[in-house]
A = this chain, B = another copy of it.
């Protein structure tokens, strides 16, 4: 039996769909039914349901975007740093291995030689190595909190995308934002992430941090070229002149743009497709949102 926390969010729903479709025994745990921020309650439930693995897809993200965290700092810290620690307490007591959806947004840029950051590189876009967004700071603190626990996987995803049009899908955002910032990033193909994360429950590689991005990196302009060649034929995407203009006109807190090295994931026997291949696959299977949902995509 797998417990899924945060099963109604963008990432959590993808887990829920996959678990349901594959007939894997699971329970989507809602805080209204079981306050999993209370370690004693979560522990009792883990034991009662004989849970074998837990997935935490709950956390604070900020709506419509990461800028919101600057105004909801207490909830951001609670969701991204305190809650993981509470879950870790319960899972450690129940001896339940688990996976936490962390974020690669605790890095900025790339290594001096252009290669991606590995799990051994300390975050460079965090409170301890600022400046950073409050959101990124809280995610890095969450990783510090979890470092003390023995049997947790920290899955660092970045800028998830998929073939399903959705306000949280990076491809949907690129299609709908009036202007874009060109930057180089590693990304996570959600349709690959979900089964790969579940493979951790089977293969049980060494616990700890895992950069969970598709190998390689891609620029925003490369993606818009793919979009213009597929689902948005001939579209002319508008770009900010540079990051300074973006910060001045569209954002209130700095954004992480970074390249991650995901070779540890590959070495664990859990490969993802190279990023350009993954993008082409998502666009080939693209499913636009029904028209009445478009309003919520802005």
Contacts and interface: CB of A to CB of B under 8 A. Distances in A.
Interface string A81-121: 11011101100000000000000000000000000000000
A137 B71 CA distance: 19
- The dominant DSSP class at the A interface is helix
B148 A137 contact: no
A74 B146 CA distance: 9
Contacts of A73: 81, 85, 141, 144-145, 148
Interface string A263-286: 000000000000000000000000
A78 B77 CA distance: 8
A106 to B, nearest CB: 13
Nearest to A137: B127
Given A128-B130, A130-B128, A85 B81 contact: no
A258 to B, nearest CB: 20
A81 B78 CA distance: 9
A133 to B, nearest CB: 12
Contacts of A182: none
Interface in A45-98: 71, 73-75, 77-78, 81-82, 84-86, 88-89
Contacts of A134: 144
